[in-house]
A and B are shown apart, each in its own frame.
Chain A
Amino acid sequence: MPTFVYMTRCDGCGQCVDICPSDIMHIDKGLRRAYNIEPSMCWECYSCVKACPHNAIDVRGYADFAPLGHSVRVNRDEEKGIISWRIKFRNGKKDMDLLAPITTVPWGSGQPELKNVPAPGNDHVASQHLYNEPKYIRMDEAPVHTLESNGLEIKEGVQY
């Protein structure tokens, strides 16, 4: 959980510093390697572990409730679009490999450049529709739901 960095593997590249959502992976100025400066603000989100190109970062469960001697390791590969995990129990009785996809398209290729799509017309602006709507709501051309279309009223009072 709180992360730590192996001295011999870290080359001080700073990928972990760049990605940590909690701003707790910093470079030690003397050793020129990364370390976790504030374990009590670590969410064990594994963002730095996944980002490290040298597998130099690992996690040791929070001292206040997690005994020593376990391991949860990860390898995330954007090119292959998969993430693989290995979980090892303290007592050695369980050792699991788990694999999951992280994307279904070549990494970063699916998102549109909205500055290149035709600008919305006045009707679209005046409507309740968002970009790609109404089509993407139900993948047909039916318009967005309204109170009228769904036979609703909005009324003051108590309703359960």
Chain B
Amino acid sequence: MGYKTIIEDDIDILVAGAGLGGTGAAFEARYWGQNKKIVIAEKANIDRSGAVAQGLYAINCYMGTRFGENNPEDHVRYARIDLMGMVREDLAFDMARHVDSAVHQFEEWGLPIMINEKKDKVGGKHPYMREGRWQIMIHGESYKPIVAEAARKSADKIFNRICVTHLLMDEAKENRVAGAVGFNVRTGNYHVFKSKTVICGAGGASNIFKPRSVGEGAGRVWYAPWSSGSAYGLMIEAGAKMTQMENRIVLARFKDGYGPVGAYFLHLKTYTQNAYGEEYESKWFPALQEMVGKEYLDPEVSHRTHRPIPTCLRNHAIINEVNAGRGPIHMVTMEAFQDPHLEEIGWHNFLGMTVGQAVLWAATDVDPKYENPELTTSEPYVMGSHATGCGAWCSGPEDVSPDEYFWGYNRMTTVEGLFGAGDAVGGTPHAFSSGSFTEGRLAAKAACKYIDDGKAEGIKVSDAQIQRRKEEIYKPMETYTVGRNEIVAGSVNPNYINPRQGLDRLQKLMDEYCGGFGVNYMTNDKLLKIGLKKMAILGEDLEKVAASDIHELLRAWELKHRFLTSESVFHHTLFRKETRWPGYYYRGDAMKLDDQNWHVLTVSRRDPKTGEYTMEKAPLYHLVGDVEKKPAEEH
């Protein structure tokens, strides 16, 4: 193989994946480690990488403490309610108490944040324009390049176009990270990063469940198609413990384009109805209340106190109404869009973060001023920064976390020296862009401390390990070279599958056995066990995945990361024997929420040597004493 091996040595902090989490880490690391060597390895180009590549029209996590709007514990309570109790509240509180300082810096860096001049000044400044209680509105087309510039100024070196495939492990001390390896998706060269710490800022997983769209449209997923579950693939493979991987998310969005609905609901005050113009939600709530209990769903209390109704439960109403034959569900835009100002906001909202929805409405002549657009529930996604909390089991901050949640360094996984941010960290839903950036900052400070405490001394990486990974990485190209001459032409080969074929199989399997849209998000223990058997065989076949060129090699490794993510989702879904989040998925053999047995976080570990999974329950701690201090205000 004619590819060079390029070794970058003596790195202190390696940021693997620089979306919002990774850029936050690289930026902050320079402050706490002024003489440290900070390196970024990114699959794409940091100016347009990660979930925020396209831009955003809102920052969904901002407390506004300076304006007297919210306290961190208010946000923790909101996340707890939305996730049916399943939140690492120490991590969530820690993120929330720091997140505003990130946003205030973004504003200084030039991010246009809208101001609400109708609200009185506090400390000489009008509050930001609120979309909802937690969201502020921005002109964020250039959110990512603005944030990337801050990371660029802090990092010693940025390696764009490096697909990180594996973490390197220390051979002097077990379960300690030693860097990462990958390949350049353009030159094909093999890159070795020897580092004292790694902050995993890689992404969550789109495209592991069969998407609703087919053919070309397979790329119009809700979460970015380049979010290949690498955060999980990398960490699971290294033996890091994962949490809440069953907690996939299903999104109610504009049909086909998956354009965002947040601004529509919260700011434009649009609402939904069924195909016959009827309100449909409330009729599904009594039966749903039987399933989850009055503590989790009480429409009367919600109406009176503005206690939010969890996202999954609203999905449940949509799914059931459609199944009852009264679909599609429509977003009623025709009222709000009569106001030209609101109409403009509606379109800007798409252009700033989901241009494809604007393209679709232009193509189908859907003018929301004269027509109420269709909504749908998406295929499921596995990620940790939106309204769900999949990810690694990480240590919290020393001044907040109970013993079970603390092992020395904030945001460090159970692998020593391996930290996480954004999608990588489990149990911290509702972090969004600003919270992910904040988590990166927290991880960076902790990683510097870890190094300064001498925890990264004497790391040893043998040439054998580096060579072994190299052979593994390029194996799909070998497989192709060896196998392709057996056939005349085409993609059908008895000895290998290509990455697209493997992805199709994975998506079908996840959809049918793990609760995708094709089965109305339903699964059970029997289906999951059959699915796991088929996954094991898919795993064998992925040893024979073939790549005809370097681009396909990238797809092959993304597929392997998606596979590891999916396998974990299967194990977690099988372990949690209850239906905790109706509307995200259902366990047909345990259709009720079961606090007696399952008011816990699920934690898994895949043994890197054997591939065997072990599952455990971790206790749930909640912030107590956080009664709402002021009546919830409708923003």
A interface, CB within 8 angstroms of B: 1-2, 18-23, 26, 37-47, 59, 61-72, 74, 76, 78, 83, 85, 87-91, 93-94, 96, 98, 100-105, 107-115, 117, 119-120, 125, 128, 130-133, 136-140, 144-147, 150-160
- Residues of chain A contacted by B365 (CB below 8 angstroms): 89-91, 93-94
Q: Can you list 25 residue pairs at the A/B interface with Cβ under 8 Å?
A: A1-B220, A1-B356, A21-B224, A26-B551, A44-B359, A46-B54, A47-B48, A59-B359, A65-B217, A69-B363, A76-B141, A94-B367, A98-B344, A100-B141, A103-B110, A105-B110, A111-B150, A130-B31, A132-B105, A136-B100, A137-B100, A145-B97, A147-B93, A157-B622, A158-B85
CA distance A152 to B402 in the complex (A): 13
Interchain CB contact under 8 A, A140 and B359: no
B20 CB to closest chain A CB (Å) equals: 13
17 new A-B pairs (CB below 8 Å) besides A119-B34, A150-B72?
A: A1-B360, A40-B218, A42-B225, A44-B220, A62-B219, A63-B215, A65-B256, A83-B141, A83-B142, A89-B362, A98-B344, A130-B31, A130-B98, A130-B445, A137-B104, A154-B400, A156-B621
Residues of B within 8 A of A89 (CB): 361-362, 365, 367
Binary contact track B603-627/A, C-beta < 8 Å → 1, others 0: 0000000000000000111111110
> Which of A65, A96, A153 is in CB contact (< 8 Å) with B347?
A96
The distance in angstroms between the C-alpha atoms of A108 and B31, with both chains bound, is 19
CA distance A21 to B109 in the complex (A): 23
In the assembled complex, which residues on chain A have CB atoms less than 8 Å from the CB atom of B167? none
Contact among A37, A47, A71 with B551 in the assembled complex (CB-CB below 8 Å): A37
Q: A43-B219, A138-B66 are in contact. Are A155 and B622 (CB under 8 A)?
A: yes
Which positions 193-229 of chain B face chain A at CB distance < 8 Å?
A: 213-221, 224-226
A88–B363 Cα distance when bound, in Å, is 8
A88, A101, A146, A151: the one contacting B362 at CB < 8 Å is A88
Asked if B351 lies at the interface with its beta carbon under 8 angstroms from chain A, I say yes
Is B296 on the interface with A (CB-CB < 8 A)?
yes
Q: Are A66 and B363 in contact (CB under 8 A)?
A: yes
**B351-376: which have CB < 8 Å to A?**
351-352, 355-356, 358-365, 367
CB contacts (< 8 Å) of A112 on chain B: these are 150, 153
Chain A nearest Cβ from B201, distance in angstroms: 14
Cross-chain contact of A155 among B217, B358, B621 (Cβ < 8 A): B621
Q: In the complex, are the beta carbons of A98 and B53 less than 8 A apart?
A: no
Report Cα–Cα, A145/B218, bound state, in Å. 44
Instruction: Summarize A's interface: helix, strand, loop or mixed.
Output: loop
Chain B residues 143-178 with CB under 8 Å of chain A are 146, 149-150, 153-154, 161
Closest 5 CB pairs of A and B: A159-B622, A136-B101, A110-B109, A62-B217, A70-B362
Q: Are A104 and B351 in contact (CB under 8 A)?
A: no
Residues of chain B within 8 A of A156, CB atoms compared: 402, 619-622
The residues in B between 399 and 437 inclusive whose CB is less than 8 angstroms from any CB of A are: 399-402
- Give residues of chain B (38-89) contacting chain A, Cβ–Cβ below 8 Å: 43-45, 47-50, 53-54, 65-66, 71-73, 80-81, 85, 89
Q: Are A20 and B367 in contact (CB under 8 A)?
A: no
In the assembled complex, the CB of A77 is this many whole angstroms from the nearest CB of chain B, namely: 11
Whole-angstrom distance between the Cβ of A43 and the nearest chain B Cβ: 5
- Cβ contact within 8 Å between A93 and B367: yes
* CB <8 Å contact, B445 and A139: no
CA separation between A102 and B551, bound complex, in Å?
Answer: 32
